[in-house]
Amino acid sequence: MYQAKAYSVASATAPFTSDTVQRRETTQRDVRIEILFCGVCHSDLHTVRDEWSSIMPTTYPCIPGHEIVGRVTKVGTAVTKFKKDDLVGVGCMVDSDHTCPNCSDGLEQFCPGGTFTYNSPDKHLGGVTYGGYSESIVVDERFVLNIPANLDPAGVAPLLCAGITTYSPIHRWGDLKGKKVGIVGLGGLGHMGVKFARAFGAHVVVFTTSPGKKEDALRLGAHEVIISSNAEEMRAQAGTFNFILDTIAAHHDINAYINMLGRDGNITLVGAPETPLQVSAFALLFGRKSLSGSLIGGIAETQEMLDFCGEHNITSDVEIIPIQKINEAYERLLKSEVKYRFSIDMASLKAE
């Protein structure tokens, strides 16, 4: 084992403070990575504040971070995919059982024996796993991704969660050329959703609570922007959408967006508010509409998404912060103020 610098929280109400984390020595299949950038996902905040306690209670201390980009510093003797100095990524998962039907189908995110990057039982060291708000991490090579060389590492980090979480359902929907797609919420996930939906040829409409984000939404690729508090603008769009991706992190009235769907339209939830949403049966019945959910994506699909981003020059719009600003960053995340993802420059941790 060795010690790495990190930032942790001691409880649901404590701020982040400087800490250290025990990492395992590289076993045969492991890759040791010096972390360059780590994105700040709203899931980090939900977990740190134990907002998902009824589903996935948080074990403290907690070190979040699952949008990791770094350089390989060491590889185990059986590692074949990576070598020292490669630029690599790690997302929300670091292991799975490799044998269940979900793993066989390349959907490791649904593996009942899977290991998430943080706050998940650690098969190697006991206790729980610790994430990317740290100077290094050791990961099984099967959960390490190749990063296209032409992309900026700070803007790539958020692709490892926000990217795959939006790419997967948008891509799975089918041929989007000429279809009308709504993206609800222009935050970390939402702004990636706009980029992907546009890249797949859809007519993209953003629904936002923030009038100040209108210009950005258009620059990011939206064709139209609707301020969700404007009843008239909302009414004019009712019944016209083929597909809507709901990325809202907080409690909201999903029926307002189900009403936007046309016949056989689908709304997919990726946002994970802490309290249940109330769905009107009638909103779904009339028009044979469907409501579904989606969770990140498998490892092969994550690599496919990264390669797609390499080909189309797609990265996240990031505000780079030092780790010392992380508490302030969380407060701004809660105010929907981030444009559009914080990416922590881990070089700042060396000064601790």
Q: Which residues bind Zn ion (CB under 5 A)?
A: 41, 43, 161
Residue 319 tokens read as 């505000």
Stretch that binds ligand NAP, among 26-34, 97-105, 205-213, 256-264 (CB under 6 A): 205-213
Q: Give the residue, chosen from 333, 344, 346, 349, that forms a contact with ligand NAP under the rule CB under 6 A.
A: 333
Q: Give the residue, chosen from 64, 131, 185, 221, that forms a contact with ligand NAP under the rule CB under 6 A.
A: 185
Closer to ligand NAP by Cβ: residue 25 or 331 = 331
Q: Is 42 in the site for ligand NAP (CB under 6 A)?
A: yes
Q: Give the residue, chosen from 87, 161, 181, 349, that forms a contact with ligand NAP under the rule CB under 6 A.
A: 161
- The 3-state secondary structure of the chain reads CEEEEEEEECCCCCCCEEEEEEECCCCCCEEEEEEEEEEECHHHHHHHCCCCCCCCCCCCCECCCCCEEEEEEEECCCCCCCCCCCEEEECCEEECCCCCHHHHCCCHHHCCCCEECCCCECCCCCCECCCCCECEEEEEHHHCEECCCCCCHHHHHHHHCHHHHHHHHHHHCCCCCCCEEEEECCCHHHHHHHHHHHHCCCEEEEEECCHHHHHHHHHHCCCEEEECCCHHHHHHHCCCEEEEEECCCCCCCCHHHHCCEEEEEEEEECCCCCCCCCCCHHHHHCCCCEEEECCCCCHHHHHHHHHHHHHHCCCCCEEEEEHHHHHHHHHHHHCCCCCCEEEEEHHHHHHC
Stretch that binds ligand NAP, among 24-32, 98-106, 126-134, 185-193 (CB under 6 A): 185-193
The binder of 183, among Zn ion, ligand NAP, none, by C-beta within 5 to 8 A per type, is none
Stretch that binds ligand NAP, among 13-21, 22-30, 147-155, 159-167 (CB under 6 A): 159-167
Q: Give the residue, chosen from 8, 117, 336, 343, that forms a contact with ligand NAP under the rule CB under 6 A.
A: 336
Closer to ligand NAP by Cβ: residue 86 or 253 = 253
Sequence-ordered list of residues with C-beta below 8 angstroms from that of 14, at least 6 positions apart, any chain: none
Sequence-ordered list of residues with C-beta below 8 angstroms from that of 129, at least 6 positions apart, any chain: 94, 115, 116, 117, 118, 119, 120, 121, 122
The binder of 296, among ligand NAP, Zn ion, none, by C-beta within 5 to 8 A per type, is ligand NAP
Q: Is 14 in the site for ligand NAP (CB under 6 A)?
A: no
Q: Is 295 in the site for ligand NAP (CB under 6 A)?
A: yes
Q: Is 296 in the site for ligand NAP (CB under 6 A)?
A: yes
Closer to Zn ion by Cβ: residue 92 or 291 = 92
Q: Is 270 in the site for ligand NAP (CB under 6 A)?
A: yes
Q: Is 248 in the site for ligand NAP (CB under 6 A)?
A: yes
Task: Please state, as a whole number, how many other Cβ atoms lie within 10 Å of the Cβ of residue 56.
Answer: 15
Q: Is 208 in the site for ligand NAP (CB under 6 A)?
A: yes
Q: Is 56 in the site for ligand NAP (CB under 6 A)?
A: no
Stretch that binds ligand NAP, among 99-107, 112-120, 149-157, 181-189 (CB under 6 A): 181-189
CA distance 19 to 131: 13
The binder of 272, among ligand NAP, Zn ion, none, by C-beta within 5 to 8 A per type, is ligand NAP
Closer to ligand NAP by Cβ: residue 209 or 324 = 209
Q: Which residues of 245-270 are buried (b: 16+ CB within 10 A; e: fewer)?
A: bbbbbeebebeebbbbbeeebbbbbb
Q: Is 163 in the site for ligand NAP (CB under 6 A)?
A: no
The binder of 248, among Zn ion, ligand NAP, none, by C-beta within 5 to 8 A per type, is ligand NAP
Q: Give the residue, chosen from 247, 302, 315, 316, that forms a contact with ligand NAP under the rule CB under 6 A.
A: 247
Q: Where along the sequence are the contacts to ligand NAP (CB under 6 A)?
A: 41-43, 46, 161-162, 165, 185-190, 208-210, 213, 247-250, 252, 270-272, 294-296, 333, 336, 338
